[in-house]
Structure 1
Amino acid sequence: MVARLLRGALIAAAFSTLAACASFGGGRDAPLRPPVVTDPAPIVSGTMRPYQIRGRWYRPAEQPNYDEVGLASWYGAQHNGRPTSTGERFDMSALTAAHKTLPLPSLVEVTNRANGRRVILRVNDRGPFVDSRIIDLSRAAAEELGLLSQGVGEVRVRYVGRAPRTGGGTAMQRADAAPLTSPRPYLPPVATPVPAPSETSAYWVQAGAFSDRRAATRIADRLGDRATVQDIRSEGRSLFRVIVGPWPDANAAEQARQAVIARGFGDALLISGG
């Protein structure tokens, strides 16, 4: 009887830690402490049916051995308060995520490959519907993982199990974690001058177009050495376009665009030079 009571107390304490989104330290080799979920939320009806987005079919399924490395992006204020696929309201300050095919809701462990930071996230939405990405993070999750300013980064995603009825996000940041791969710098410096878009097969990111050259120059300075100001004419007036690049392919340019968006330029566009 005493053993049963003690076991119950330990489970309750573990769940309390999970719901409170508490963080804990430890060395980078410390084992993962998976959360104990005593009363899992039922899978939301309809979210396990095959569905089609932009002509492509996705087939949700139970995937207990899911373990994948790929790119993560994040979404924030523009979606805050909107309903997710589970019917929950998206809260950019909660530790949540979107995935194309895992059960909803469920828990995943996400590791930033550049710095070793880890979090447990509640998956309650579908997405991201971009081929190169495997998970979309809430703003809080991106911040915990150190991806907020970078916009896009390489992560490892592992399925943990069913989610509790509420909450489930846990910060597991390890302050002394060493990088697992070389971090992807935001807009790395270049030694050569940046040309304007031309007939070459390159890609550029347009951060914005401004009527004041000085304002455009200040923004280009903020965005780094790969940003420059280009004079353009639009409807009979002069504009000063801030562009970043060039990038050799669309995937690299899209990563840069997400980084520019993360710096506060939500209308950033891709421009093809050829």
Structure 2
Amino acid sequence: MARLLKGVVIAAAFSSLAACASLGGGREASLRPPVVTDPAPIVSGTMRPYQIRGRWYRPAEQPNYDEVGLASWYGAQHNGRPTSTGERFDMNALTAAHKTLPLPSLVEVTNRANGRRVILRVNDRGPFVDSRIIDLSRAAAEELGLLSQGVGEVRVRYVGRAPRTGGGTPMRRAEAAAPSRPTPYVQPATPTAPVISEASAYWVQAGAFSDRRAAIRIADRLGDQASVQDIRRDGQPLFRVIVGPWPDANAAEQARQAVIARGFGDALLISGG
């Protein structure tokens, strides 16, 4: 296999996430939502009906909003860009995008797979993909345990108006037994290509691109297990974005479906055998 051009992206440190949370303190914050005594005004321009890809969305105050659906996340490719409220998107802050809730507001998001729960500041519109109900910042995805898989089922509950700044708060983490001899992850000085020549190894190919920079941006979007592979087709350089590996076809197929849900409908399974 050709040498990978992109190494594993290391997730942001938990301490930096805590620094981004303006209310509630540390990771063992109260199970109660934060009390907002000086709410930010709703940005009036974000409450007008709008149309995306032929579909109309009608934002409204929804005090009883409580919905289950898929969450995705967005990171470096949007970092620093203005959100719908005019705030700058910070991928390391606990924020989110929603199609119709007031901006800015607070929501409680629960990962239904592991029970992790977090309060997020909603300051942007999206995601405009069928079946997805909320788009998370990178920090929010990491807090909920969704960073590597990209898409997961969540419950979203409207909490209320957001403070003038901040509002993101870790609320609860899933309980897990600590290993007797934990082995810390050590990043290699020079990233090395995983071995995929064994028949038991599977990868997902999200796509192949002639532009290396475009391939790297897509790999960043897909998370920690994505990398870029330099190959040649008909004598021309090509940059393939792959995600994995997984030890069996069932796990790889689940990952492929997650990649498809992120907008890569031509994602393929690749066997190392």
Distance between the aligned counterparts of 1:243 and 1:139, measured in 2? 20
2:233 aligns with: 233
- 2:110 is the counterpart of 1:111: yes
1:23 aligns with: 26
Identical positions, percent = 75
Distance between the aligned counterparts of 2:103 and 2:239, measured in 1? 46
2:194 aligns with: none
- 2:251 is the counterpart of 1:256: no
- 2:201 is the counterpart of 1:206: no
Q: How does 1:144-163 map to 2 (within 5 A)?
A: 144-163=143-162
Q: For 1:68, what is the secondary structure of its paired residue?
A: strand
- Alpha-carbon spacing, 1:67–1:256, altered in 2? closer, same or farther (3 Å): same
How many residues matched? 211
8 Å CA contact retained: 2:68, 2:153: yes
Counterpart amino acid of 1:78? Answer: Q
- 2:93 is the counterpart of 1:94: yes
8 Å CA contact retained: 1:206, 1:270: no
Calculate the TM-score normalised by the size of structure 2. 0.64
8 Å CA contact retained: 1:113, 1:156: yes
Unaligned stretches of 5+ residues in structure 1: 1-17, 179-191, 196-202, 212-221, 260-267
- 2:266 is the counterpart of 1:271: yes
8 Å CA contact retained: 1:210, 1:241: no
What CA deviation, in whole Å up to 9, does each residue of 1:172-225 have, x standing for no partner? 1324179xxxxxxxxxxxxx9899xxxxxxx963266799xxxxxxxxxx969x
User: RMSD of the TM alignment (CA)?
Assistant: 4.0
What CA deviation, in whole Å up to 9, does each residue of 1:36-84 have, x standing for no partner? 1111111102111100011110000111110001111111111111111
2:57 aligns with: 58
- Alpha-carbon spacing, 1:254–1:78, altered in 2? closer, same or farther (3 Å): farther
1:19 shift after superposition: 2.5
8 Å CA contact retained: 1:121, 1:169: yes
Distance between the aligned counterparts of 2:90 and 2:241, measured in 1? 32
Max Rg structure: 1
1:181 aligns with: none
2:48 aligns with: 49
Q: For 1:71, what is the secondary structure of its paired residue?
A: strand
Calculate the TM-score normalised by the size of structure 1. 0.64
Distance between the aligned counterparts of 1:175 and 1:194, measured in 2? 29
What CA deviation, in whole Å up to 9, does each residue of 1:228-254 have, x standing for no partner? x9x8634x447585667999xxx9856
Unaligned stretches of 5+ residues in structure 2: 1-20, 178-198, 213-223, 269-273
Distance between the aligned counterparts of 1:128 and 1:35, measured in 2? 25
1:141 aligns with: 140
Q: For 1:158, what is the secondary structure of its paired residue?
A: strand
1:102 shift after superposition: 0.2
Q: For 1:271, what is the secondary structure of its paired residue?
A: coil
1:24 shift after superposition: 4.6
1:135 shift after superposition: 0.3
1:33 shift after superposition: 0.4
8 Å CA contact retained: 2:87, 2:123: yes
8 Å CA contact retained: 1:207, 1:244: no
Counterpart amino acid of 1:120? Answer: I
1:271 shift after superposition: 2.2
Q: For 2:25, what is the secondary structure of its paired residue?
A: coil
Q: For 1:168, what is the secondary structure of its paired residue?
A: coil
8 Å CA contact retained: 2:114, 2:174: no
Q: How does 1:116-127 map to 2 (within 5 A)?
A: 116-127=115-126
8 Å CA contact retained: 1:117, 1:177: no
- 2:66 is the counterpart of 1:67: yes
Distance between the aligned counterparts of 2:91 and 2:102, measured in 1? 20
Q: Which has the higher contact order (CA 8 A, sep 6+)?
A: 2
Counterpart amino acid of 1:255? Answer: A
